[in-house]
Structure 1
Amino acid sequence: MLTIAMAVTAADTFVDKAEADDGWARDLRLFIPIADPQLWQPAIPLLQKALHFLSGDLWEIILLPDGPRQLTSQNRGRITVMAGHDCVSLFSGGMDSGIGALNLLAEDRRPLLISHAYRGDSEKQIMVRDHLPVEVSRFAAVANPVSLTGRKTDVQMRTRSFNFLAYGALVGATLAQLRVTGTPVELFVPENGLIALNPPMTARRIGALSTRTTHPHFLGLFQKILDTVGLPVRVENPYALQTKGEMLSGCLDQANLRVLASETVSCGKWKRTHQQCGKCVPCVIRRASFHAAGMTDGTAYHARGADLTSVVRDANARDDLMAMILAARRLPAEDVAKWVRQSGPLPLHRQSRDYLVDVASRGMGEVRNYLWSLGLL
């Protein structure tokens, strides 16, 4: 799994979308030597489908023999203590992953936290982890291919969640080996329902132009990949039917949440300045969630994004905010089911589909109420 994930990351990094025939959808063919290609052969169609959904590219994966194999134990590097943990949970340093960890601990679970630690992210993740009431282990790694020739790289990295989940699968499958029962280990992916679905705020953001990293369709495909190759891991988003505000107000550990919440990161532009901008789509949803939960937002937003009424007047800074305002204005008359389907397939089961449509409507309702409170609607 990791060998394939690293190859995908390298391809996604070094093949510039501008070189595609249409300037966006690349035609990628990967030859990947792995330890057991025969085992993985049946999973290739699922892999290609999942990667196409994430990036909008066409992927062809050819598996070759004699790839990397597991090494014997090395007395070097940082040791991740696995004893005492009963599940794994993705941990980005964001609010949703922080709430996910708090809730698991409040339920007497012991999650081993999984972090994709880009430069600057690791410090924030450690800070948030240190605010948790119980000490738990954290597995952190980063796949950051660098060109030795100075070749331009694609910074979008739309397949990064495949790598993130591969880390989780690695640790989850290892935990499963330590269980005498051999039962699958839960891999929790804490993400509020609106962000997971990520319906397009404007027509320009339809399809792979919007990230699909935790969309239920993608997580379902990833689960099928795990099942096909026999990895004993169960992927679950416990908050797929909750808004971000509902996650805040429903957190089982409110005392620690009030300390932790403002330290978390939601910003889509965090990697550029290591300060939350306050005006991108994830930041606006974050701010709306505090408003919906009746909690004080102590986040240190960048000065240019702290006052959204000023952002609206700045033609060079208001793109994301205006997209949110327009989407919120459409909400009362919007066909929400049609809107949500634009981001990806929904379950065939009617009730499951209705639940997802409803959480998107409630999530945008939180945004609408927040923007209205600022006089922006």
Structure 2
Amino acid sequence: MKIAALRPDQPSPSGMDHRISIFEGDLGALSRTSGHAGLSVASELFKWAGRSPSTMAWDFTALALGVVGADRLVNRATVSPDGWTREIELTVGVSDPHRWQVLSEKISAMLSFLTGDFWNLTFVEGGYHPAPPKKIAGSRPETCVALLSGGLDSLIGAIDMETKGVDHPVYVSNRVRGDVAKQEKFAARTGAGQRLLSLNADPRTAGVAAEISQRPRSIVFIAFGVLAATLLDKYVAGETVDLHTPENGFISLNVPLTTMRRGSLSTRTTHPKFIEMLQSLLDELGIKVRLCNLYQFKTKGVMMAECRSQELLAELAPISMSCGRAGRSYTHCGRCLPCLVRRSAFLKWSGRIDGDTTAYIHPKVELTVQGRINNEFHGKAFAEYDDVMQTLTALDYVNRHGARRWIGPAIGATSFGVKADEYRKVAEEGLLEIGEFLEATGLR
């Protein structure tokens, strides 16, 4: 599938199947062959900061918007021979196409790791150069950037940073329906309400069945963080700015529960390997932003237990969002892997099975006799409880063969180097944390 991500005033190269207008365009100009993304980003940035980000930051965001737009357009079920892997040829307009094209193979490999697809990148002249904001702002004295999604991990990250008081972050949120109120409340309650920058990628298409896996969805979130980082006085002065992406190590590593699991609804955006590749790209582009995850070697339960303000955590944690299947109900399902990780963390934190006051569609995680045949699920029952079953299978495998064999090549010394054992440790601890929850519910 050939897709172009360009400014609306740029002609599409010949042979394109789809076109995505980025940064500017007509909100109503949608069809089977055209869409748009990021139309409000510049105006929101200028309103908040009163200055324009660096040219390379705009280019990186153009790439990110093109990736999430292309991902949405190309439905795995309809275009992939194996029902999963896609071939996507993406053309992106940037300010310095030669500099980007030299890095195209590296970027393609990075995106392939992120989404499980084959990417072919072409960069053409057409970078985004918005007119300077009418109202020029003064200083932006913040010292770093932190992502604030509305999830539990980023909430803990914000509480810890504000309570510690060493850094003075800008909090960047990707404005998504269902999360906005949480993001604003979390920023306000932690004392950072005036330092919240809320942006929206809002990729739109029409007449096509959108891809639901959204594996690269968080790359645009990081791009928004990069945009914000280049606005700060610290960056303008030539210093490197830290961009914090708080996520527990177990979810970050995304170790397959079983040999058959491909993690289709899981994102690898904070996976150490992806972060390493992305950091290398930023460095080669001269973007002085350092990606940081202070919780890489902590489980979600440990994050909760060590949070610097237990009072704030108790107030806000129940309304945070973790579910991978919340959909339009914006309510935790209670039985997907992110929900299991969340519920396990609450148990470790509170010490009680009833210590979690989150609203779940399925508050009881149970395996019915009708749904269980020889310790396996079939049909609808499997679709509804696959994460529960695969977690139980993984725990059984660890009991019989040990965690190192379960983890296998997912965390190898070649890729993870001297820290491989630390990564294996948090992967094992995260799985065992879920095991304690399932045991408390009577499933083990």
1:231-271, Cα deviation, whole Å (9 max, x unpaired): 01000111010011110111111121111111211111123
Deviations 1:23-73 (A, max 9, x none): 321111112121122332333222111110011111111111133224311
1:273-288 matches, within 5 Å, as 273-288=329-344
Cα distance between partner residues in 1 of 2:389 and 2:138: 46
Alpha-carbon distance in 1 for matches of 2:271, 2:281? 16
Alignment of 1:143-182 (within 5 A): 143-148=201-206, 150-175=207-232, 180=237, 182=238
**Normalising by structure 1, what TM-score?**
0.90
Identical counterparts, % of pairs: 33
Q: Give the whole-Å Cα distance in 2 for the aligned partners of 1:82 and 1:206.
A: 46
Shift of 1:363: 0.9
Deviations 1:210-240 (A, max 9, x none): 4312111001111011001000100011101
1:25-64 to 2 correspondences below 5 Å? 25-64=85-124
Structure 2 residue 146 is the aligned partner of structure 1 residue 86: no
Report the counterpart of residue 242 of structure 1 in structure 2: 298
Moved more, 312-321 or 367-376: 312-321
Return 315-324 or 25-34, whichever deviates more.
315-324
2-structure distance, mates of 1:20, 1:58: 11
Answer yes or no: is the 8 Å Cα contact 1:96–1:191 preserved in 2.
Answer: yes
Q: Which residue of 1 aligns with 2:196?
A: 138
SS in 2 for 1:204: coil
Superposed, which structure 2 residues align to 1:108-123 within 5 Å? 108=165, 109-123=167-181
Give me the whole-angstrom Cα distance separating, in 2, the residues matched to 1:82 and 1:332: 57
SS at match of 2:231: helix
2:69 pairs with one of 10, 20, 40: 10
Is the Cα–Cα contact under 8 Å of residues 194 and 360 in structure 1 kept in the other structure?
Answer: yes
Show the counterpart of 2:360: 301
Contact 2:95 2:127 in 1 (8 A): yes
Query: Which has the larger displacement, 274-283 or 40-49?
Result: 40-49
Aligned pair 1:184/2:245, yes or no?
Answer: no
Residue identity in the other structure for 1:121:
D
Give the TM-score normalised by structure 2. Answer: 0.77
Contact 1:115 1:141 in 2 (8 A): yes
Instruction: List alignment gaps of at least 5 residues for structure 1.
Output: none
1:357 aligns with 2:428: no
Question: Which residue number in structure 1 is paired with residue 398 of structure 2?
Answer: 331
CA distance in 2, matches of 1:311, 1:33: 54
- Paired amino acid for 1:98: L
- Contact 2:216–2:267 under 8 Å retained in 1: no
Report the alpha carbon displacement of residue 135 of structure 1 after superposing the two structures with TM. 3.4
Q: Is the contact between residue 184 and residue 193 of structure 2 (CA under 8 Å) also seen in structure 1?
A: no
CA RMSD, 1 decimal: 2.4
Number of the residue aligned with 1:196: 252
Instruction: Name the counterpart of 1:66.
Output: 126
Cα distance in 2, alignment partners of residues 205 and 334 from structure 1: 18
| Separation of aligned partners in 1, 2:138 and 2:432 | 42
Quote the Cα distance in structure 2 between the aligned partners of 1:135 and 1:153.
Answer: 34
Shifted more, 168-177 versus 219-228: the winner is: 168-177
Higher helix fraction (1 or 2): 1
The Cα offsets for residues 329-348 of structure 1, whole Å up to 9 and x where unpaired, read as: 22223443444355576665
Partner residue, 2:386: 319
Relative to structure 1, the CA distance from residue 344 to residue 152 in structure 2 (aligned partners, 3 Å threshold; closer, same or farther) is: farther
**Inter-partner Cα distance in structure 2 for 1:324 and 1:92:** 26
Aligned-pair distance for 1:274?
0.6
The alpha-carbon distance between structure 1 residues 209 and 187, as it changes in their structure 2 partners (threshold 3 A), is same
| 2:272 pairs with 1:212 | no
Distance change in 2, residues 1:313/1:171 (3 Å) = farther
Q: Larger relative CO (CA 8 A, sep 6+): 1 or 2? A: 1
